[in-house]
C-alpha cells in the first residue's frame, strides 16, 4: 500500500452532500480568496477526489493514510472534535483476493502491535440483504433494520428484536435474528442461500482465509456497519479483554460509492482504525514504555556530565540532564517530578574513578557500577 497524504482543507463543495445528516458537523468557512473551504471530515471522500483527479494512477490503487479529521460534534468520552484516523483502501478491484488481503492486513497489523486476543467478525451486506429479501421484507426498510442490527452488541438481542419488531413485526424480527445469529446460522444460511452470489462470495473469502482454522476470525452475520454505502464484505475487530471500547479496526467493501463521488466505476474495499481508541487500549497495556534516566549536573562537572550524556544517548538511552539546579537534593526532586525511573549521580569522586552511582527512583536503592559499559547495561536492565 502506498502512503497518501491530502490537505486538511478541501473545497467545501467536495464534502457537501456526502455525509447525510452529519453534514452539519463539517467545519467550513471562507478563506482569504473568498473560496468556501472545509476541514477534512473523513479520509474516504478525499481519496475519491484523488482518484477523480488522477486517472493516471494504476488500478487497483492501494493506499494508506494516517491523518487528523475534524467534526463539530459534542465531545464525550472517546469521541473528540479532532481525532486521528488510519485508513487503508484498495480501489479499482472486484478481486476476492483484495477482500482476503484486507483481513490479513488487519491480522498482521494487530499482531505487530503485540495483540494476540483479537477477533475479526466477518459479515456481508449482500447476505444480510438476501435474507431480508427471502423473508419478503420491503427493501425500503433495510436501512432502518441495519441501523438497529448494527447496535446489537450494545443494546442486546432482546432490545434489538423489539426495535426491529416495530419495523417488520415481532414474529419476523425473531425469525430474522434466529436466522442470522447462533451456532447454526451458517448451516441455515447455506440451505437458504446456496446459489446466492453474495453467499458464494462470502464462502469463497472464508475459504481462502481458512476461517474455520483461524482463532482470530469469526463469521458473525449480526455485523452490518452503520454506514449505508457498504455493498459486500463488512467486518469489525474486537480486542478480547477490551471489547467494551467497541471495534478498533472496521470496514468493508463499497462498490458504488466511488462512482457516486467520481463518476467512474471503481469498486473498492477499505478498513479504518480509530487511532485514539486503539491507542487508549494499547497504552493501557504498557506498550510504548521506555526507560527514562536523569543525570545530575554538579557544579564544576558540566562538561563531564555533557560528555557522559552523549555517550549514553549514543547507546540509545533516554537521558535527561538536570539543568539549572546546583543542589543534589533539588536535582533528585526534579528527577522525581518528571517521572525518571533511574538517576545517575555523577560527582567529583565518580568522575575521577569512572564509577557511577545509580539511584532507583521507585525504591530509593543505590547501586555503584564501574565503567560506562557496565553503566549502560545496568540502566538498560531498569
Contact residues for its own copies, defined by CB under 8 A: 7-9, 24-25, 27, 29-32, 39, 58, 60, 62, 68, 70, 72, 81-82, 90, 92-98, 100-101, 104, 108, 208, 297, 302-303, 305-306, 309-310, 313, 320-321, 323-324, 334, 337-338
CB of 100 to its own copies, least distance (A): 6
Cβ proximity to its own copies: between 194 and 338 the closer is 338
Cβ proximity to its own copies: between 198 and 297 the closer is 297
CB of 281 to its own copies, least distance (A): 18
Cβ proximity to its own copies: between 88 and 152 the closer is 88
Parallel, antiparallel or unpaired: strands 61-70 and 28-30: unpaired
CB of 337 to its own copies, least distance (A): 4
241/254 Cα distance (integer angstroms)? 30
Cβ proximity to its own copies: between 112 and 143 the closer is 112
Residues with Cβ within 8 Å of 248's Cβ and at least 6 positions away in sequence, in order, are: 118, 237, 238, 239, 273, 274, 277, 278, 281
Q: How buried is 54 (Cβ within 10 angstroms: 0-12 exposed, 13-18 middle, 19+ buried)?
A: exposed
Task: Extract the C-alpha cell encoding 37.
Answer: 473551504
Cβ proximity to its own copies: between 81 and 154 the closer is 81
The answer to whether residues 278 and 109 touch, using CB atoms and an 8 Å cutoff, is: no
CB of 295 to its own copies, least distance (A): 11
CB of 373 to its own copies, least distance (A): 20
Cβ proximity to its own copies: between 241 and 348 the closer is 348
CB of 321 to its own copies, least distance (A): 6
Cβ proximity to its own copies: between 45 and 298 the closer is 298
CB of 28 to its own copies, least distance (A): 8
Q: Measure CA 354 to chain center.
A: 48
Amino acid at each position: 500500500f502506498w502512503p497518501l497524504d491530502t490537505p486538511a482543507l478541501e473545497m467545501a463543495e467536495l464534502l457537501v452532500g456526502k455525509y447525510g445528516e452529519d453534514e452539519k458537523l463539517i467545519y467550513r468557512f471562507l478563506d482569504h480568496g473568498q473560496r468556501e473551504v472545509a476541514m477534512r471530515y473523513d479520509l474516504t471522500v478525499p481519496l475519491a477526489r484523488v482518484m477523480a483527479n488522477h486517472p493516471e494512477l494504476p488500478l487497483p490503487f492501494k493506499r494508506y493514510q494516517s491523518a487528523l479529521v475534524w467534526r463539530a460534534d459534542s465531545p464525550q468520552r472517546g469521541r473528540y472534535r479532532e481525532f486521528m484516523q488510519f485508513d487503508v483502501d484498495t480501489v479499482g478491484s472486484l478481486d476476492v483476493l483484495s477482500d482476503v488481503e484486507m483481513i490479513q492486513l488487519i491480522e498482521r497489523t494487530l499482531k505487530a502491535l503485540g495483540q494476540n486476543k483479537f477477533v475479526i467478525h466477518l459479515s456481508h451486506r449482500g447476505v444480510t440483504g438476501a435474507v431480508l429479501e427471502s423473508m419478503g421484507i420491503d427493501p425500503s426498510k433495510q436501512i432502518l433494520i441495519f441501523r438497529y442490527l448494527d447496535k446489537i452488541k450494545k443494546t442486546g438481542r432482546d432490545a434489538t428484536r423489539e426495535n426491529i419488531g416495530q419495523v417488520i413485526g415481532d414474529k419476523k424480527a425473531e425469525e430474522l435474528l434466529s436466522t442470522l445469529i447462533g451456532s447454526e446460522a451458517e448451516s441455515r444460511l447455506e440451505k437458504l442461500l446456496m446459489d446466492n452470489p453474495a453467499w458464494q462470495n462470502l464462502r469463497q473469502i472464508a475459504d481462502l482465509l481458512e476461517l474455520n482454522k483461524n482463532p482470530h476470525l469469526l463469521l458473525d452475520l449480526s455485523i452490518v456497519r452503520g454506514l449505508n454505502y457498504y455493498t459486500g464484505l463488512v467486518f469489525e475487530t474486537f480486542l478480547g479483554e477490551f471489547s467494551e471500547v467497541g471495534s478498533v479496526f472496521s470496514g468493508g467493501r463499497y462498490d458504488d460509492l466511488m462512482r457516486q463521488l467520481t463518476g467512474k466505476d471503481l469498486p473498492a474495499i477499505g478498513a479504518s482504525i480509530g487511532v485514539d481508541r486503539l491507542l487508549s487500549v494499547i497504552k493501557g497495556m504498557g506498550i510504548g514504555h521506555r526507560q527514562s534516566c536523569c543525570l545530575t549536573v554538579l557544579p564544576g562537572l558540566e562538561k563531564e556530565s555533557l560528555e557522559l550524556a552523549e555517550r549514553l544517548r549514543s547507546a540509545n538511552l533516554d537521558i535527561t540532564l538536570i539543568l539549572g539546579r546546583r543542589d543534589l537534593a533539588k536535582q533528585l526532586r526534579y528527577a522525581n517530578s518528571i517521572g525518571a525511573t533511574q538517576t545517575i549521580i555523577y560527582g567529583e569522586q565518580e568522575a575521577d574513578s569512572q564509577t557511577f552511582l545509580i539511584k532507583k527512583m521507585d525504591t530509593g536503592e543505590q547501586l555503584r557500577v564501574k565503567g560506562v559499559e557496565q553503566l549502560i547495561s545496568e540502566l538498560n536492565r531498569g
